[in-house]
Structures are given as structure tokens and as C-alpha cells.
Structure 1
């Protein structure tokens, strides 16, 4: 039986919060380390008006057809890592390839109640949040900047998707990115996302403000067992140098909530990428 996240709130990444940069897990930096830069302030998925043919920076991209993942590297010069990169995300989470690490290697999650600005950026719903929440990885603190969703999940376990995936995008003091991913299983009954999903802005460019603070830990599973690996943004420019943590246990999302999100974004996930010579670490708390 698959250990599938029956044991793993972007995510988009990585796919999509504006105020700070990370495009659904996207940044405007095409270098070796994914960083938060001013370039993405307008839209974390920063979508330009570039078309097919000549490669253009900030070119339009999508999840299907000619602008889909198979062609991202051809759309703009700074998207070339989407094909040439050797440490790309997402990946398949295979227990047989995972290396057990001691519990002190687990990522620490320190989230506080937040208000949020929800943004429909054309690729996902992204929630920009104020400072005050963080994760700690190997002694380095990464501040939460935004969270967003993908449908279906981007990460798989033994090839199997969940209904959706949530990405929390963080940055350290130098702008390097770390993403905490939570898999979302579709199941009837109560859902922690009910209030949030009632507020989703339905038109591209539209926003909605949540002024009453809510508890981010409600979007996390109670068990914090996790996978860790070095990866990339899951949207163009597919910048590498992103630290990924994927919680093993999924959380529940109601069928009507999945349907609501799917009506806005029928497909918003990048296919899994080769692990190559990277190490996938498993930490059981």
C-alpha cells in the first residue's frame, strides 16, 4: 500500500503572493538561488504579454497547450531552466528513494494568526500575508510571504496525485526561498478552508481582503512528518535553489471547494520532474 500522504496552508511553489515576489513559487531571479526580488511585486506569477516565436522576458505561460509546461523553456530566455535544470520541482515522493534523517533535521513551523489579501493572478489564488510567521530550516529562519494553491497536486507519491496542493512560500533575510507544501485530499465533511474559499476572487486581477485574523495552523495536518529536498520554483522561470518541505499527511478539502477552485483554474499543476542525483530526505517526528 502506498504510504501516500494518508499520513502531507502554493502553492502554486513551486505556483503563486504579490506584495513580496515569489511567483506562485515564482521569483523573477533566474540565477542559481531562488530569491525574492522587486520584479515580481506586481504579480507573483508575473505574466507578461510576450507571445510565441521570439523568446521574451516575462513571456505569457500557462498549464495547457502551446504555453504549457512542455514548452515553457521555449517561451523566454529566462525560462530555460525549466528544461535545462537538474534540480527541478515538483517530484514524485518515493519512500524507496528517501533517506531517513534524524528528528532534529525536521523543519520547525512557527505560524501566527494572520489577515490576508487574496489575489487572483490568472494562475492561482494567492494570499499575501503580513510578517510574523516563519519556518526554521537547519537554524535559518524563513519568513512567510504568501500561500497559494494548485489543482491537482504537483507532488505525487508513487505516481498518485491528491485533489489539490497548498504552498506556503517563505524567504530568508537574503531573499532565498523555502516552500512548505501540504497535500489536500478531497473528502466530504468539515474543511478548514471553508471560510477562505467563500472569499476567492473570481476574476483575474481581482482581490479580496480578509481583515479578521485566522489560524494558519488549521491548514496543516496534526502530524508533521515530512519530506525534504532541494528543488526549484514550479512556475517559470523555474529558478533552482528552493528548499522544499512536503508534509506527509494530507489535509481535507471538501468536494464543493475543489469544484469551486476547479471552475476558476481547471488545471494548475506542473508535471513531476526527475529526481536525478538529488537526495530525498524523510524526517519522522
Structure 2
């Protein structure tokens, strides 16, 4: 079975070709010596465990709830954002002071009540750091233990048969975060995204990302993009 799409991380359709003449692209380097102090902007998580489906359309692996909205939401400044999907990159995409983490998970949210075709997106990013005897990410387990699947238009849909809890891949203290205006990190690279990157990483076992090397040789991270004059805020 061949899974294909109209872009990839390889030479023929490499990331350098994904966007041109855009000034708000992601990911960027987080220079901790060049941050602005963020205002009191409370980030509240209200996630729920729910059944999950796994979508694989190379080179992207994505988790979505079986029922839309079933994973709950987050609140930022009193505005609610529904968790729409979760996906991971290995190595990580955003760097901190020039250094990449082994991986990065993106929680993609849509504004509640917005029925537009291309609504603004709020992406919470969680950095992944290695530590023995810690969390094992669910992605590889879901691929190995899928109870059923569908294949349509180059996309494989797996049904693992057991629920997913978004809290399991959040850091223990998710209150501090970096915030900036950016874009999707995969085509079409739309500049309608705000990133909230959690400062404290999630500790995972080295085996958690080993499968990504097998499924996506060469990595699934877009190169760092120019920051230009965009401010990056630290919210504590």
C-alpha cells in the first residue's frame, strides 16, 4: 500500500519550496535573550479522554477524535478553543537558543462557534525530551494495535479501539509558555496560526520516537524560518 501526497520532506518537494514571499512562517528559533514579557494571559486546559482515530497520509501522522469535539477544549483569555487534532514531529520543529528537542507535539485547536472554512488556529506545542523510565508516546502503539482501518484517497485511517487522553502528553506544569504569530508548518503554510509553546518539556522514553525513523526516514521537521521583526512573548 502506497501512501502519497503532493508534498514531502525530501529533495523533490523539499520545504524550501513550500512558501515564498511570506513573512510570518513557522517554525522559528526561540531566542530566550530576546523575549517580551507577556501580559497575564491565563491558559486553562479542559481536555477529556475519548476514542481516537489515527490518520496516516505520508509524511504526516495525525490523531483525531472519533467524534468531533470529544477531546474538550482550552481557554485563553476567556475564549474557548476546541481540540481538533494532535500530531508529532521528530526531530522537533521550533528550536530554543538554536537547539532542537528530539520531538515536538502539536495540539491544533479551532475557535468554538467559528464555522468559517479556514478559521484561525491556535496550536499548543509541547517539546519532547528523553528520559529513561518515563512516558511512552501512543503513536507507535496505535499503529501496531489498530482494530480496523479504512483506505481512501491516499490516506490510511486506523481505529486503535481504545481511547486517547490528551493530558498524557502535556508537561506536569504547563502554565509557562512562549507565544507568537506564525503559520502552519506543512503546506499550504497558511499564516493564520498563533503558537503557544509550552516552556517545560514532556519527558518520554527514547523508544517513543524510534518508530518515526522507520516510517519517515530523514525526519518530519520543517527547517527554521526567519523571524523578521515578530515579537515573541513569555507568559508565566
After TM superposition, is the score higher than 0.5?
yes
1:155 aligns with 94
2:154 maps to 1:185: no
Answering whether residue 43 of structure 2 is matched by residue 107 of structure 1, we say: yes
TM-score by length of 2: 0.85
For 1:257-272, list aligned pairs within 5 A.
257-266=208-217, 267-272=219-224
* C-alpha deviation, 1:192, in angstroms: 4.2
Aligned to 1:35: none
Match of 1:233 in 2: 184
What's the offset of the Cα at 1:140? 2.0
- Kept after mapping to 1: 8 A contact 2:143/2:160: no
The C-alpha deviation readout for 1:198-253, integer Å capped at 9, x for no partner, is: 12269973322234333211110011210011110001111102111000111122
Report which of the two has the higher share of strand: 2
Question: Deviation of residue 151 (structure 1)?
Answer: 1.0
Partner of 2:17: 71
* Whole-Å separation in 2 of the counterparts to 1:254 and 1:200: 18
Following superposition of structure 1 onto structure 2, how do residues 174-213 of structure 1 map, counting pairs within 5 Å? 174=114, 175-193=119-137, 195-200=138-143, 205-213=155-163
CA-CA distance at 1:137 after TM superposition: 2.4
Conserved 8 A contact 2:131-2:204: yes
Corresponding residue number in structure 2 for 1:252? 203
- 1:91-122 Cα shifts (integer Å, max 9, x gaps): 111111111123x3132222111211011111
Consecutive unaligned residues of structure 1, counting only runs of 5 or more, are 1-45, 48-59, 73-81
Match of 2:74 in 1: 135
Asked whether the equivalents of residues 186 and 258 of structure 1 are also in contact (C-alpha less than 8 Å), the reply is no
* Cα distance in 2 for residues equivalent to 1:221 and 1:238: 27
**Cα separation, 2, equivalents of 1:154 and 1:229:** 14
Higher helix residue share: 1
Alignment of 1:55-66 (within 5 A): 60-66=6-12
> Structure 2 unaligned runs (5+)?
none
**CA RMSD between the two structures:** 2.0
In the superposition, the TM-score normalised over structure 1's length comes to 0.71
Confirm or deny: 8 A CA contact 1:220 1:251 kept in the other structure.
yes
Question: Counterpart in 2 of 1:274?
Answer: 226
Name the CA distance, whole Å, in 2 between partners of 1:66 and 1:210: 33
CA contact (8 A) 1:128 1:146 kept: yes
Cα distance in 2 between the residues matched to 1:137 and 1:87: 22
The answer on whether the counterparts of 2:101 and 2:129 sit within 8 Å (CA) in structure 1 is yes
The number of equivalent residue pairs is 216
